[in-house]
Amino acid sequence: MHLTLHVWRQRGPGLLGGFVRYAMTDVSPDMSFLEMLDVLNQQLLARKDDPIAFDHDCREGICGACGMVINGRPHGPQRATTTCQLHMRSFSHGAELWIEPWRARAFPVIKDLVVDRGAFDRIIQAGGFITARTGSAPEANSLLVRKPDADLAMDAAACIGCGACVAACPNASAMLFVAAKVSHLGLLPQGQPERDTRVVTMVAQMDAEGFGACTNHGECMAACPKEISIDFIAQLNRDYWKAVVSRTPQAARKDGGDG
Amino acid sequence: MSESLRNDGRIWVPKKKGDTRPPHQIPEEERDYYLERLYPSYGNLAPRDIASRRAKEVCDEGRGVGPGRGGHGVYLDFRDAIARLGRPVIAERYGNLFEMYQRITGEDPFQVPMRIYPAPHYTMGGLWVDYNLMTTLDGLYAIGEANFSDHGANRLGASALMQGLADGYFILPYTIGDYLAHAKPAKVDPQHPGFRHVQGEVDEQVRRLLAASGRKTVDAFHRELGRVMWDKCGMSRNAAGLKEAIGRIGALRDEFWRDVYVGGRGEDLNQSLEHAGRVADFFEFAELMCHDALHREESCGCHFREEYQTPEGEAKRDDERFGYVAAWEFAGVGKEPVLHKEPLAFEAVHLAQRSYK
């Protein structure tokens, strides 16, 4: 199949970027989207042009490294699919594709389609963990978890942190990401002791990174390759208000309060 | 695809060579469920080295399925499991894998059998570590799959998870803590002669790679190296092939440094340069794998030397001569690695030849 690509090229952070047009011929419908870009890069290198920089790692849809906006949609047109798992049979012969990086103030472009997602790491560092010493492995039945909670925690834990939710949101909000991470731990017994402080510190970091607020567009859920539900955002809001309203002495101390 | 699928999927190829009928048109009596036929007690759950070799064998015979490249595939069929257990049970067990398969191939495994073929996944072995998981460099620990310690000449399903957990959960909390309790962190100084030496080496490598300005891309070299390894150091090996591979890898490495085109600059993000650095390492690693495979004159797990097999085509070990771990010391690029033997002592469970028949 033949395709016309318009790819965002930007030499470095803070520099002016723009779309560059590439005509692709003989694209196999069995290629993945990233393989198609690999082929284009080989052609660019063959004529001593700078290849297109894009993030990728496992190419199995589980690592969260890849991601680009294709015709206005993060990870492209296929539901619940990362860019690496998107195949060219999803497009028709002669299609015109506009390929851009994630667009968000909190995700500055490093080069071409590569953005800096360090903001997500800093949100996790702010509270996305448990501090309890794991010690030796406990007997599996000593901490009982209800099956619906276990399943729900697993659904939240499916988040791979790719950032498509931010790219899809008109406000560039990271609420779905934060909600998934907060709920994943908040639904399990090990996450309870720090449940209140966790949600407060993670939301604070999210705001500090410059992500927008949630105004219930629901675009994040539609773009999420792991189909994380916005129900978790409701859970995040509940947890947040509960934590703020019923501050425990420990939470207050941490914020420099009256402890 | 994940090996777990073999729990319920049945593997087969057509009995006839070059049978291009779609799978549902091939009647039961014209299908060869070759793993069930050859290994009645283990069937489709035969270890992966055996299952891989048998798949290669039936494809080499011309009975492989699927389009292109001479039918490099065998069927993994869930028809019977769906009939026996119902679609919801299969969806609960393998739903995510079925979805992944459908995304890649555009075919629905609930309707048509999957087509699979063995491929390299991980390299068996890894960095040598001591009992505390420390490498030969003081203070540098290698955990999980990066080290050699837990697996032998075969990797089993989920061994990645097992080793990550075992090393991270049970060993490191004690050994690294102990190391840190004794070691005083030295002052880190970029003016240290060791640091400057390595920095000089790296700078020189980057300079050489960017200056080469040849005709072939990094990817082209990577593919060529992969082809050599696939052909000569893959599912089955022999001495002549391995010697040939070692020669070709050396020649390819020389060509790489002479004729690679990396492009771009060293100062900003340059993925082609990153790739070039990795491929440069892969040459050394590929050479070492071939050396090791040539040295080990027995068949053992996934290391299958054609010269050492039983009359039924199964792996023939030589525990007398090769009952050890081969730890190879890097002697420099293009130099023969130095062998250190670490004998394998089995105290509770003794070595035996297993039969999967």
Cα B25 to Cα B22: distance, rounded to the nearest angstrom: 6
B contacts of A90 (beta carbons < 8 Å): none
Rounded to 5 degrees, φ, ψ at B198 are -65, -40
In chain B, the percentage of residues whose pLDDT exceeds 90 is 70
Beta carbons of A87 and B268 less than 8 Å apart: no
What residue in B sits closest to A43 (Cα-Cα)? B217
User: Would you call A137 an interface residue with chain B, using a CB distance cutoff of 8 Å?
Assistant: yes
Percent residues over pLDDT 90 in chain A: 87
Q: Mean pLDDT for chain B? A: 91
Cβ-Cβ contacts under 8 Å, B268 against chain A: 11-12, 111
Terminal alpha carbon distance of chain B: 25
- What per-residue confidence (pLDDT) applies to B68? 64
Q: Convert A117-129 to b/e letters by CB count within 10 Å (16 or more is b).
A: bebbeebeebbbe
DSSP chain A: --EEEEEEE-SSTTS--EEEEEEE-S--TTSBHHHHHHHHHHHHHHTTPPPPP---S-SSS-S-----EETTEET-SSTT--GGG-BGGGS-TT-EEEEE----TTS-EEETTEE--HHHHHHHHTTSS--S---SPPPGGGS---HHHHHHHHHHHT-----HHHHH-TT-B-HHHHHHHHHHHHTSGGGSTTHHHHHHHHHHHHHHTT-B---S--HHHHH-TT---THHHHHHHHHHHHHHHT--HHHHHHTT---
Report the alpha-carbon distance of residue B305 to residue B237 in Å, rounded.
5
pLDDT in the model for residue A259: 38
Specify the CATH superfamily of domain A3-111.
Beta-grasp domain (3.10.20.30)
Query: Mutual orientation of helices B218-232 and A33-46 as an angle, nearest 10°?
Result: 120
List chain A residues with CB under 8 Å of B269: 12, 53, 110-111, 114
Residue A9 or A256, more confident: A9
CATH 1.10.1060.10 range(s) for chain A read: 118-255
The verdict on a CB contact (< 8 Å) between B219 and A42 is: yes
| Interval A55-110: pLDDT, tens | 999 998 999 999 999 999 999 999 999 999 999 999 999 999 999 999 999 999 99
Q: Where in chain A is the domain with CATH 3.10.20.30?
A: 3-111
**What are the chain B neighbours of A53 within 8 Å (beta carbons)?**
269, 271
Mean pLDDT (whole number) for B321-344: 93
Residues in chain A with CB shorter than 8 Å from the CB of B261 are: 45, 48
Contact A202, A181 (CB under 8 A): yes
Q: What is the pLDDT of residue A250?
A: 56
Number of residues written out for chain A: 259
Residue A35 has pLDDT above 90, yes or no: yes
- Residue A254 pLDDT level (bands cut at 50, 70, 90): low
DSSP state of B307: T
Residues of A in contact with B219 (CB under 8 A): 38, 41-42, 45
Residue B292: the pLDDT is: 95
User: What kind of architecture, by CATH, is found in domain A118-255?
Assistant: Orthogonal Bundle (1.10)
Average pLDDT of the residues of chain A: 93
How far is the CA of A224 from the CAs of A115, A187, A236, B44, B294, in angstroms? 18, 21, 17, 36, 48
Sign of the torsion angle spanned by Cα atoms B264, B265, B267, B273: positive
Query: CB–CB of A51 and B169 under 8 A?
Result: no
Give residue-wise pLDDT tens across range B204-220: 999 999 998 889 999 99
pTM: 0.87
Nearest to B268 among A41, A78, A111 (CB): A111
- Tokens representing B123 are 């390299």
Q: What is the pLDDT of residue A134?
A: 63
Nearest to B103 among A38, A46, A85 (CB): A85
Residue B157 pLDDT greater than 70, yes or no: no
User: Which DSSP state fits B209?
Assistant: H
Q: How far is CA B265 from CA A44, A114, B209, in A?
A: 15, 17, 10
Are B103 and A50 inside 8 Å of each other by CB? no
Select the residue from A30, A34, A45 to test the B interface by mutation, using most B Cβ atoms within 10 A.
Answer: A45
CA dist list (Å): B68 to A37, B56, B65, B81, B292: 22, 16, 9, 29, 33
Residue A12, number of CB atoms within 10 A of its CB: 13
- Cβ contact (<8 Å) for B261 and A111? no
The CA distance from B102 to the nearest CA of chain A, in Å, is 10
- Which residue of chain B is at minimal alpha-carbon distance from A48? B263
**Most confident stretch, A146-155, A248-257, B145-154:** A146-155
- What is the distance between the alpha carbons of residues B11 and B42, in angstroms, rounded to a whole number? 12
Span B317-340, average pLDDT: 93
pLDDT of residue B169: 84
Complex prediction ipTM: 0.84
A48 with B169: Cβ contact below 8 A: no
State yes or no: pLDDT of B176 exceeds 60: yes
Residues of B with CB under 8 A from a CB of A: 99-100, 103-106, 169-170, 173, 217, 219-220, 261, 263-264, 268-269, 271-272
Put simply, whether A45 touches B (Cβ < 8 Å) is yes
- Tell me the C-alpha distance between A244 and A240, whole Å: 6
Do the Cβ atoms of A177 and A120 come closer than 8 Å? yes
pLDDT at A258: 45
Q: Which residue in chain A is spatially nearest to B121 when comparing CA positions?
A: A58
Nearest CA in chain A to B102: A85
Q: Find the closest chain A residue to B270 by CA distance.
A: A53
Residue A144 has pLDDT above 80, yes or no: yes
Q: What is the mean pLDDT of residues B28-42?
A: 96
In this prediction, residue B125 has a pLDDT band, given cuts at 50, 70 and 90, of confident
The predicted structure's pLDDT at residue A256: 47
> What count of CB pairs under 8 Å joins A to B?
52
pLDDT in tens, B216-233: 999 999 999 999 999 999
Q: Which residues of A touch B99 (CB under 8 A)?
A: 80
